[in-house]
Chain A
Amino acid sequence: MTTRLDRITPILNWLAVGLVIICLFMIFFYAPNERNMGNVQRILYFHVGSAWVALITFLVALYAGIRYLRRPSRDWDTVAMASVEIGVIFTTITIISGSVWAKPAWNTWWVWSPRLTLIVVMWLTYVAYFMLRNAIEDEDKRRRFAAIYVILAFVTVILTFASIRILRDIHPVIVGPVAEAAQGVAQGEQDFAPGLAARMRLVLYGVATPTFIVIYAAWLANRMRLQRMIDQTTALKARVVARLQHG
Protein backbone atom coordinates (compact mmCIF):
# COMPACT_ATOMS: atom_id res chain seq x y z
CA MET A 1 0.00 0.00 0.00
CA THR A 2 1.39 3.41 -1.00
CA THR A 3 1.09 6.01 1.74
CA ARG A 4 1.26 9.78 1.47
CA LEU A 5 4.78 9.57 2.89
CA ASP A 6 5.80 7.18 0.10
CA ARG A 7 4.43 9.58 -2.51
CA ILE A 8 5.98 12.74 -1.07
CA THR A 9 9.46 11.35 -0.33
CA PRO A 10 10.76 11.05 -3.94
CA ILE A 11 9.41 14.54 -4.69
CA LEU A 12 11.31 15.97 -1.71
CA ASN A 13 14.44 14.02 -2.68
CA TRP A 14 14.51 15.45 -6.19
CA LEU A 15 13.57 18.93 -4.99
CA ALA A 16 16.51 18.81 -2.56
CA VAL A 17 18.92 17.67 -5.32
CA GLY A 18 17.71 20.48 -7.61
CA LEU A 19 18.01 23.11 -4.89
CA VAL A 20 21.51 21.94 -3.91
CA ILE A 21 22.65 22.40 -7.53
CA ILE A 22 21.11 25.90 -7.68
CA CYS A 23 22.57 26.72 -4.26
CA LEU A 24 26.10 25.68 -5.27
CA PHE A 25 25.80 27.68 -8.50
CA MET A 26 24.70 30.78 -6.55
CA ILE A 27 27.47 30.37 -3.95
CA PHE A 28 30.27 30.00 -6.48
CA PHE A 29 29.07 32.15 -9.39
CA TYR A 30 26.73 34.78 -7.93
CA ALA A 31 27.85 35.48 -4.35
CA PRO A 32 30.62 38.11 -4.17
CA ASN A 33 34.17 37.65 -2.89
CA GLU A 34 34.60 38.82 0.67
CA ARG A 35 37.37 41.42 1.05
CA ASN A 36 39.27 40.10 4.11
CA MET A 37 38.83 36.33 3.97
CA GLY A 38 38.63 35.62 0.25
CA ASN A 39 37.05 32.42 -1.01
CA VAL A 40 36.92 30.65 2.36
CA GLN A 41 34.03 32.97 3.31
CA ARG A 42 31.88 30.87 0.93
CA ILE A 43 31.90 28.13 3.58
CA LEU A 44 29.64 30.39 5.65
CA TYR A 45 26.68 29.86 3.30
CA PHE A 46 26.64 26.18 4.30
CA HIS A 47 27.86 26.78 7.86
CA VAL A 48 25.15 29.32 8.71
CA GLY A 49 22.49 27.44 6.70
CA SER A 50 23.17 24.16 8.47
CA ALA A 51 23.30 25.89 11.88
CA TRP A 52 19.88 27.49 11.34
CA VAL A 53 18.37 24.24 10.14
CA ALA A 54 19.89 22.36 13.11
CA LEU A 55 18.03 24.85 15.31
CA ILE A 56 14.82 24.14 13.36
CA THR A 57 15.26 20.35 13.69
CA PHE A 58 15.65 20.63 17.46
CA LEU A 59 12.64 22.98 17.58
CA VAL A 60 10.58 20.38 15.69
CA ALA A 61 11.84 17.69 18.09
CA LEU A 62 10.78 19.89 21.03
CA TYR A 63 7.30 20.32 19.52
CA ALA A 64 7.03 16.59 18.79
CA GLY A 65 8.11 15.82 22.37
CA ILE A 66 5.42 18.12 23.79
CA ARG A 67 2.79 16.61 21.47
CA TYR A 68 3.84 13.12 22.52
CA LEU A 69 3.49 13.92 26.22
CA ARG A 70 0.07 15.50 25.66
CA ARG A 71 -1.23 12.54 23.66
CA PRO A 72 1.20 9.61 23.23
CA SER A 73 1.49 8.58 19.58
CA ARG A 74 4.17 6.55 17.83
CA ASP A 75 4.33 9.09 14.96
CA TRP A 76 5.29 12.01 17.22
CA ASP A 77 8.00 9.90 18.82
CA THR A 78 9.32 9.04 15.35
CA VAL A 79 9.28 12.71 14.29
CA ALA A 80 11.24 13.68 17.43
CA MET A 81 13.78 10.88 17.02
CA ALA A 82 14.28 11.51 13.28
CA SER A 83 14.60 15.27 13.84
CA VAL A 84 17.23 14.80 16.54
CA GLU A 85 19.18 12.38 14.32
CA ILE A 86 19.16 14.88 11.43
CA GLY A 87 19.88 17.76 13.80
CA VAL A 88 23.01 15.98 15.03
CA ILE A 89 24.18 15.59 11.41
CA PHE A 90 23.58 19.30 10.70
CA THR A 91 25.33 20.28 13.93
CA THR A 92 28.31 18.12 12.98
CA ILE A 93 28.44 19.90 9.60
CA THR A 94 28.23 23.25 11.40
CA ILE A 95 31.06 22.45 13.82
CA ILE A 96 33.43 21.02 11.21
CA SER A 97 32.78 23.69 8.57
CA GLY A 98 33.20 26.38 11.25
CA SER A 99 36.49 24.88 12.35
CA VAL A 100 37.84 24.83 8.77
CA TRP A 101 36.72 28.45 8.28
CA ALA A 102 38.30 29.47 11.60
CA LYS A 103 41.82 28.38 10.61
CA PRO A 104 42.37 31.19 8.05
CA ALA A 105 39.99 33.63 9.78
CA TRP A 106 41.22 33.24 13.41
CA ASN A 107 44.53 31.48 12.74
CA THR A 108 43.41 28.50 14.82
CA TRP A 109 41.16 25.48 14.24
CA TRP A 110 39.39 25.80 17.58
CA VAL A 111 38.95 28.16 20.54
CA TRP A 112 37.04 27.23 23.68
CA SER A 113 34.98 30.41 23.54
CA PRO A 114 31.42 30.42 25.00
CA ARG A 115 29.75 29.80 21.61
CA LEU A 116 32.08 27.00 20.53
CA THR A 117 31.96 25.33 23.93
CA LEU A 118 28.17 25.54 24.06
CA ILE A 119 27.68 24.08 20.60
CA VAL A 120 29.80 21.07 21.62
CA VAL A 121 27.69 20.74 24.78
CA MET A 122 24.55 20.92 22.62
CA TRP A 123 25.91 18.28 20.22
CA LEU A 124 26.83 15.93 23.07
CA THR A 125 23.44 16.45 24.72
CA TYR A 126 21.61 15.37 21.58
CA VAL A 127 24.00 12.45 20.94
CA ALA A 128 23.20 11.31 24.50
CA TYR A 129 19.51 11.25 23.50
CA PHE A 130 20.22 8.09 21.48
CA MET A 131 22.12 6.53 24.38
CA LEU A 132 19.06 7.12 26.56
CA ARG A 133 16.75 5.55 23.97
CA ASN A 134 18.98 2.50 23.63
CA ALA A 135 19.28 2.09 27.39
CA ILE A 136 15.52 1.70 28.06
CA GLU A 137 13.91 -1.57 26.94
CA ASP A 138 10.26 -0.86 27.72
CA GLU A 139 8.88 0.93 24.63
CA ASP A 140 6.35 3.21 26.34
CA LYS A 141 8.82 4.19 29.02
CA ARG A 142 11.53 4.81 26.39
CA ARG A 143 9.26 7.10 24.37
CA ARG A 144 8.07 9.02 27.42
CA PHE A 145 11.60 9.53 28.75
CA ALA A 146 12.85 10.50 25.28
CA ALA A 147 10.06 13.10 24.97
CA ILE A 148 10.96 14.62 28.34
CA TYR A 149 14.66 14.57 27.48
CA VAL A 150 14.17 16.29 24.12
CA ILE A 151 12.21 19.09 25.81
CA LEU A 152 14.90 19.63 28.46
CA ALA A 153 17.72 19.38 25.89
CA PHE A 154 16.36 22.42 24.06
CA VAL A 155 17.86 24.60 26.80
CA THR A 156 21.28 23.94 25.21
CA VAL A 157 19.96 25.25 21.86
CA ILE A 158 18.74 28.48 23.47
CA LEU A 159 22.07 28.96 25.28
CA THR A 160 24.06 28.29 22.10
CA PHE A 161 21.94 30.72 20.07
CA ALA A 162 22.04 33.46 22.72
CA SER A 163 25.70 33.09 23.76
CA ILE A 164 27.30 35.32 21.11
CA ARG A 165 24.61 37.95 21.58
CA ILE A 166 25.12 38.37 25.32
CA LEU A 167 28.70 37.21 26.02
CA ARG A 168 31.97 38.50 24.58
CA ASP A 169 32.99 35.94 22.00
CA ILE A 170 35.37 35.62 19.06
CA HIS A 171 32.50 34.21 16.97
CA PRO A 172 30.90 36.93 14.81
CA VAL A 173 27.14 37.58 14.89
CA ILE A 174 25.69 37.25 11.40
CA VAL A 175 22.01 37.77 12.27
CA GLY A 176 20.33 40.08 14.78
CA PRO A 177 21.44 42.54 17.45
CA VAL A 178 24.31 42.16 19.95
CA ALA A 179 24.26 43.30 23.59
CA GLU A 180 26.70 46.15 24.30
CA ALA A 181 28.71 44.00 26.74
CA ALA A 182 29.23 41.36 24.04
CA GLN A 183 30.61 43.73 21.41
CA GLY A 184 34.19 44.26 20.33
CA VAL A 185 36.03 40.93 20.27
CA ALA A 186 34.47 39.16 17.29
CA GLN A 187 36.88 38.28 14.51
CA GLY A 188 36.00 37.25 10.99
CA GLU A 189 33.34 39.90 10.37
CA GLN A 190 32.36 40.00 6.72
CA ASP A 191 33.31 43.00 4.63
CA PHE A 192 31.77 43.65 1.23
CA ALA A 193 31.48 46.69 -0.98
CA PRO A 194 28.10 48.26 0.02
CA GLY A 195 26.18 47.07 -3.04
CA LEU A 196 27.47 43.50 -2.76
CA ALA A 197 26.35 42.69 0.79
CA ALA A 198 22.80 42.37 -0.58
CA ARG A 199 23.97 39.56 -2.85
CA MET A 200 25.51 37.74 0.09
CA ARG A 201 22.26 38.06 2.07
CA LEU A 202 20.21 36.87 -0.89
CA VAL A 203 22.33 33.73 -1.29
CA LEU A 204 22.45 33.07 2.46
CA TYR A 205 18.80 33.65 3.39
CA GLY A 206 17.10 33.30 0.01
CA VAL A 207 18.87 30.20 -1.28
CA ALA A 208 21.19 28.36 1.14
CA THR A 209 18.94 28.30 4.22
CA PRO A 210 15.77 27.27 2.27
CA THR A 211 17.85 24.57 0.54
CA PHE A 212 18.88 23.14 3.91
CA ILE A 213 15.24 23.26 5.07
CA VAL A 214 14.21 21.16 2.05
CA ILE A 215 17.12 18.75 2.69
CA TYR A 216 15.83 18.40 6.26
CA ALA A 217 12.30 17.72 5.00
CA ALA A 218 13.62 15.09 2.55
CA TRP A 219 15.77 13.38 5.17
CA LEU A 220 12.90 13.48 7.68
CA ALA A 221 10.56 11.80 5.20
CA ASN A 222 13.18 9.14 4.41
CA ARG A 223 13.91 8.54 8.08
CA MET A 224 10.21 8.20 8.90
CA ARG A 225 9.81 5.72 6.05
CA LEU A 226 12.74 3.74 7.44
CA GLN A 227 11.13 3.71 10.89
CA ARG A 228 7.89 2.36 9.42
CA MET A 229 9.89 -0.41 7.74
CA ILE A 230 11.63 -1.21 11.05
CA ASP A 231 8.24 -1.36 12.80
CA GLN A 232 6.84 -3.59 10.04
CA THR A 233 9.86 -5.90 10.29
CA THR A 234 9.46 -6.15 14.06
CA ALA A 235 5.77 -7.05 13.68
CA LEU A 236 6.52 -9.68 11.01
CA LYS A 237 9.32 -11.18 13.11
CA ALA A 238 6.91 -11.47 16.06
CA ARG A 239 4.43 -13.34 13.84
CA VAL A 240 7.14 -15.73 12.58
CA VAL A 241 8.37 -16.40 16.12
CA ALA A 242 4.78 -17.00 17.32
CA ARG A 243 4.20 -19.56 14.57
CA LEU A 244 7.47 -21.31 15.31
CA GLN A 245 6.57 -21.52 19.02
CA HIS A 246 3.04 -22.81 18.41
CA GLY A 247 4.00 -25.23 15.65
Chain B
Amino acid sequence: MLPDYLLILLQGGIDPNITLDYLLLGYVAMWVIALFYVITLHSRQRNMRQDIALLKQLLEEDDKAK
Protein backbone atom coordinates (compact mmCIF):
# COMPACT_ATOMS: atom_id res chain seq x y z
CA MET B 1 0.00 0.00 0.00
CA LEU B 2 1.41 3.37 -1.03
CA PRO B 3 1.53 6.24 1.46
CA ASP B 4 -1.17 8.94 1.10
CA TYR B 5 1.09 11.63 -0.37
CA LEU B 6 2.11 9.29 -3.20
CA LEU B 7 -1.51 8.26 -3.84
CA ILE B 8 -2.46 11.95 -4.13
CA LEU B 9 0.31 12.50 -6.71
CA LEU B 10 -0.46 9.34 -8.67
CA GLN B 11 -4.27 9.18 -8.59
CA GLY B 12 -4.69 11.20 -11.82
CA GLY B 13 -8.03 12.63 -12.99
CA ILE B 14 -8.91 16.10 -14.29
CA ASP B 15 -7.12 19.29 -13.33
CA PRO B 16 -8.91 20.01 -10.00
CA ASN B 17 -8.79 23.78 -10.56
CA ILE B 18 -11.10 23.59 -13.59
CA THR B 19 -14.11 23.68 -11.22
CA LEU B 20 -12.58 26.15 -8.75
CA ASP B 21 -15.03 28.96 -9.69
CA TYR B 22 -17.99 26.79 -8.71
CA LEU B 23 -16.32 25.85 -5.44
CA LEU B 24 -15.88 29.55 -4.59
CA LEU B 25 -19.45 30.37 -5.63
CA GLY B 26 -20.81 27.50 -3.51
CA TYR B 27 -18.89 28.48 -0.39
CA VAL B 28 -19.74 32.19 -0.76
CA ALA B 29 -23.45 31.33 -1.11
CA MET B 30 -23.37 29.01 1.92
CA TRP B 31 -21.56 31.55 4.11
CA VAL B 32 -23.86 34.38 3.06
CA ILE B 33 -26.91 32.34 4.18
CA ALA B 34 -25.27 31.26 7.46
CA LEU B 35 -24.01 34.76 8.28
CA PHE B 36 -27.38 36.28 7.42
CA TYR B 37 -29.01 34.02 10.02
CA VAL B 38 -26.33 34.70 12.66
CA ILE B 39 -26.58 38.49 12.13
CA THR B 40 -30.39 38.34 12.25
CA LEU B 41 -30.27 36.38 15.52
CA HIS B 42 -27.76 38.82 17.00
CA SER B 43 -29.69 41.94 15.99
CA ARG B 44 -33.00 40.51 17.27
CA GLN B 45 -31.34 39.69 20.63
CA ARG B 46 -29.85 43.21 20.83
CA ASN B 47 -33.23 44.83 20.09
CA MET B 48 -34.92 42.68 22.72
CA ARG B 49 -32.27 43.59 25.32
CA GLN B 50 -32.88 47.29 24.60
CA ASP B 51 -36.65 46.82 24.83
CA ILE B 52 -36.35 44.96 28.14
CA ALA B 53 -34.07 47.64 29.61
CA LEU B 54 -36.44 50.41 28.48
CA LEU B 55 -39.55 48.68 29.82
CA LYS B 56 -37.88 47.95 33.18
CA GLN B 57 -36.84 51.61 33.37
CA LEU B 58 -40.41 52.72 32.71
CA LEU B 59 -41.75 50.46 35.47
CA GLU B 60 -39.06 51.61 37.94
CA GLU B 61 -39.80 55.28 37.21
CA ASP B 62 -43.48 54.60 37.73
CA ASP B 63 -42.73 52.86 41.06
CA LYS B 64 -40.65 55.85 42.22
CA ALA B 65 -43.34 58.33 41.17
CA LYS B 66 -45.84 56.48 43.37
Contact = CB atoms under 8 A, between A and B. Distances in A.
Q: Do A and B bind each other?
A: yes
A225 B49 CA distance: 11
A229 interface: yes
A97 interface: yes
A223 interface: yes
Which of A97, A100, A199 has the most CB atoms of chain B within a 10 A radius of its CB? Answer: A100
Contact of A219 (B14, B37, B44): B37
A240 interface: yes
Counting contact residues on chain A (CB < 8 A from B), the size range is 35 or more
Contact of A229 (B37, B52, B56): B52
A92 B22 contact: no
Interface string B35-48: 00110010011001
Nearest to B49: A229
Contacts of B37: 86, 89, 219
Interface residues of B, number: 39
Contacts, number: 123
Contacts of B55: 233, 236-237, 239-240
Interface string A170-197: 0000000000000000000001110110
B29 A226 contact: no
A196 B13 CA distance: 13
B26 to A, nearest CB: 4
A243 B8 CA distance: 73
Q: Which 3 A-B pairs have the closest CB atoms?
A: A35-B13, A40-B19, A193-B11
Interface of B: 1-2, 4, 7-8, 10-20, 22-23, 25-27, 29-30, 33-34, 37-38, 41, 44-45, 48-49, 51-52, 55-56, 58-59, 62
